[in-house]
A and B are shown apart, each in its own frame.
Chain A
Amino acid sequence: MSRIASAFARLKAERRAALIPFFTAGDPSIEATVPLMHTLVEAGADIIELGVPFSDPQADGPVIQRASERALARKVTLRKVLEMVTEFRRSNATTPVVLMGYANPIEAMGRQNFAALAHRAGVDGVLVVDIPPEESEDWVRTVKANELDPIFLLAPTSTEARVGQVARLASGFVYYVSLKGVTGAAHLDRSEVAERLPRLQAVIPLPVGVGFGIRDAASAAAVAAVADAVVVGSRIIQEIEGSTPETLHARILALVGELREAVDSARVV
């Protein structure tokens, strides 16, 4: 069983939703990235989503754009991100790591080459924002052949037919974008999520996570009540922006710990 499948199996037995924090690799610094991954695990992260910086992050709001620009200024390449995952795996063999990014750095490395190197580094899943199902035939084959889970996005605008298409292609989990907009946008439509999630879960034989627009304990709890996973990104990056190297560990521990509690409280019956 893959690390992602094992993690969700364990969570299901414990009747808990997964907490998936996101941050951009190389931000606030290259040296801080792997320790930050360990901090997230310590604070209760079930899966880590690591952003691969790209010069033109079209689906991202200002917070993740800035993180991407800071990482690129430090010359964080896709190759470098894979090295960070390799280092993380030296002391953590169980927490799944999902890379999230854009197609072009992967194209530049070569899809086959990337998939093989990512697997060897200990990456578990890959979410490429700008490879939607219609352009993914070869992509899905390549990543699955290298024992990686292709993670796909669904959106409030996705038709029933596309939900079915994603259900057939995806493995690991499916990521529902909770709003029309970019990452870190202001308001999550809780009633839309509560209404849509059960319909998605009925069709998709995988866990369904929700992200984009989850900013605090209350919205995390609301999403955890209906979703299989809660993804938090921009809010974590804002905490990173507000930290010094000395305070980073404690502040992330506190923030993610609070989100963890909120996610767990949502399922108490």
Chain B
Amino acid sequence: MKMYDLPDARGHFGPYGGVFVAETLVRALSELREAYEAVGQDAEFQAELAYELKHFVGRPSPIYFAKRLTEHAGGARIFLKREDLNHTGAHKVNNTVGQALLARRMGKKRIIAETGAGQHGVASATVAARYGMECIVYMGSEDVARQSPNVFRMKLLGATVVPVESGSKTLKDALNEAMRDWVTNVESTFYIIGTVAGPHPYPMMVRDFNSVVGKECVVQMPEMIGRQPDAVIACVGGGSNAMGIFYDYIPHEKTRLIGVEAGGDGVETGRHAAPLSAGTPGILHGNRTYLMQDEDGQIIETHSVSAGLDYPGVGPEHAWLKDSGRAEYVAATDDEALEAFHLLCRAEGIIPALESSHAVAHALKLAPTMDKDQVILVNLSGRGDKDLNTVSRLAGITL
């Protein structure tokens, strides 16, 4: 097999990706690309990033054998990559530390970010505080309401949270608004995109910063069990935690890569957020990828119990991995994710994020179809503290 070296110089993953933005942003994106290429070769930058990941984020994160979960599922052994143990509680901080260091290198003192569940907003506010930068976070007003603990955390960290009232008032609209801010303040401002979407170089850069997850696993799994897993499972909204764990496994062809999208009420109902499972290719937010859209090319509203997966697009590299067959994409419904959430709480003493619960849900489906000596590695991308209000409401528990 030819060595995997995507994207190409113009940011394309086969027919996907690219730079579909208004002219005003083109120069900012080429400056960003040049700055990012420069730090790739810069030993001092890489050493600083490694130091921050170790001492500020708390890496490497452990891999944990979920023994009781495995017994419950009956079949393949299930291991969890504990990204929930990172500082700020999710994989998102791997990327924000990287981009904030890059922003500092570029002399930008104001950072902006979009957020859905609030995890990326918290991770951005955290690094802004850490490096003494101004931070503005755009968040759909619907999400502000359903993720209030994270809104408070961002404010504690000194960030300004701007509720976005346009469109569907969720993640996609927050991204639109952040782009509008960036166009207006392009010289002073660094836009930290939180997922592997957006125009080139973001899908590549966010993947690279998150690829520390898979890099660790490729070393940790042989240490624990003497070999690589048979399957790696991760949830996919925009797809940053999935690309983070998949990327270093792409050359390990015996390892299946499985992305789990938000099935909402069920893919067949149309009320979901699963563009790879049930969408078609189009252009949104600066790149060509699979989208949830109607036949006239308008983006349609998505539905998921988890705000972090409630996005109508997906990173272009996932679109490419799907078409090329290297990765498989499935969906887990709200109910399946919630069931997995409660099960992981009780069986392992781990409260997972609702996003990550989608990956756990699929592991529970897949494990019984596999042999007991086979191994599934799940990226447990975040912890569930932020979801307590949502879950208690759905479970009828009064806090």
Contact B23 A56 (CB under 8 A): no
A137 CA / B53 CA spacing, docked (Å): 42
Task: Pick from A12-20, A150-158, A214-222, A232-240 the stretch touching chain B.
Answer: A150-158
B153 to chain A, nearest CB (A): 28
Tell yes or no: A177 within 8 A of B by CB: yes
In the A-B complex, list the 6 residue pairs whose CB atoms are closest, starting with the nearest: A108-B297, A105-B297, A181-B184, A153-B23, A155-B24, A77-B296
With contact pairs A72-B298, A132-B19, A157-B186 given, residues A65 and B166 touching in the complex (Cβ less than 8 Å): yes
B296 with A108: CB separation less than 8 A: yes
Would you give 24 A-B contacts (Cβ < 8 Å), ordered by A? A55-B167, A56-B176, A56-B284, A58-B179, A59-B22, A103-B283, A104-B293, A104-B297, A105-B298, A106-B297, A107-B288, A108-B297, A109-B296, A109-B297, A130-B22, A131-B20, A132-B19, A134-B10, A134-B26, A135-B20, A155-B26, A156-B24, A158-B23, A162-B23
Q: Which residues of A contact B284 (CB under 8 A)?
A: 56, 104
With A103-B20, A132-B22: A58-B297 Cβ-Cβ less than 8 Å = no
Asked if A54 is at the interface (CB within 8 A of a chain B CB), the reply is yes
B172 touches A78 (CB 8 A): no
Could you tell me the distance between the alpha carbons of A60 and B28 in the complex, rounded to whole angstroms? Answer: 18
Q: Which residues from B are CB-within-8-Å of A78?
A: 296-297
Choose among B24, B167, B187 the residue with the greatest number of A CB atoms under 10 Å from its CB: B24
- A103-B283, A130-B21 are known contacts; what are 7 more A-B pairs with Cβ within 8 Å? A104-B299, A107-B288, A135-B19, A157-B28, A158-B23, A180-B186, A181-B183
Report the minimal beta-carbon distance from A212 to chain B, rounded to whole angstroms: 9
CB-CB under 8 A for A177 and B296, given A104-B282, A130-B283, A130-B286: no
In the complex the two chains form, what is the Cα distance from A109 to B298 in whole Å? 11
Of B173, B183, B285, B288, the residue contacting A59 (CB under 8 A) is B183
Where the two chains meet, the residues of B that have a C-beta atom closer than 8 Å to any C-beta of A are 10, 18-24, 26-28, 166-167, 172-173, 176, 179-180, 183-187, 281-286, 288, 291, 293, 295-300
- How long is the Cα–Cα vector from A182 to B184 in the complex, in angstroms? 7
B312 CB, min distance to chain A CBs, angstroms = 9
Indicate the size class of the contact surface on chain A: 35 or more
Residues of B within 8 A of A104 (CB): 282-284, 291, 293, 297-299
Would you give the shortest CB distance from A260 to chain B, in whole angstroms? 28
What residues on A are CB-neighbors of B23 within 8 Å? Answer: 132, 152-155, 157-158, 162, 177
Q: Which B residues are CB-close (under 8 A) to A72?
A: 298
Minimum C-beta distance from B245 to chain A (A): 29
Q: How far is the CA of A109 from the CA of B293 in the complex (A)?
A: 12
Q: Are B27 and A158 in contact (CB under 8 A)?
A: yes
From 53 to 70 in chain A, residues with beta carbon under 8 angstroms from any chain B beta carbon are 54-59, 61-62, 65, 69
Min Cβ gap B273→A in Å is 15
Of the residues B10, B183, B286, B296, contact of A105 by C-beta under 8 Å: B296
Q: Find out whether the CB atom of A56 lies under 8 angstroms from the CB atom of B167.
A: yes
Any B CB within 8 A of the CB of A129: yes
Q: Is A185 an interface residue (CB 8 A)?
A: yes
A180 close to B24 (CB less than 8 A)? yes
- A191 close to B (CB within 8 Å): no
From A57, A58, A162, B26 is in contact (CB under 8 Å) with: A162
A196 contacts the other chain (CB 8 A): no
Nearest to A77 among chain B residues (CB) is B296
Which residue of chain A has its CB nearest to the CB of B297? Answer: A108
Q: Which residue of B lies closest to A156 (CB)?
A: B24
Looking at the assembled complex, report how far the CB atom of B199 sits from the nearest CB atom of chain A, in whole angstroms.
9
User: A102 — which chain B residues lie within 8 A by C-beta?
Assistant: 283
Hey, which chain B residues are within 8 Å of A107, CB to CB? 281-283, 288, 297
Contact: A108 with B180, CB < 8 Å? no
For residues 134 through 157 of chain A, which have their beta carbon under 8 Å from a beta carbon of chain B?
134-135, 152-157
- List B contacts of A182 (CB < 8 A): 180, 183-184
Residues of B within 8 A of A79 (CB): 296
List of B residues within 8 angstroms of A105 by Cβ: 296-298
Residues of chain B within 8 A (CB-CB) of A247 are: none
- CB pair B298 A55 closer than 8 Å: yes
A6-31, CB < 8 A from B? none
A159 at the interface (CB under 8 A from B): yes
A55 pairs with B27, CB closer than 8 A: no
Most A-side CB within 10 Å, residue of B173, B180, B297: B297
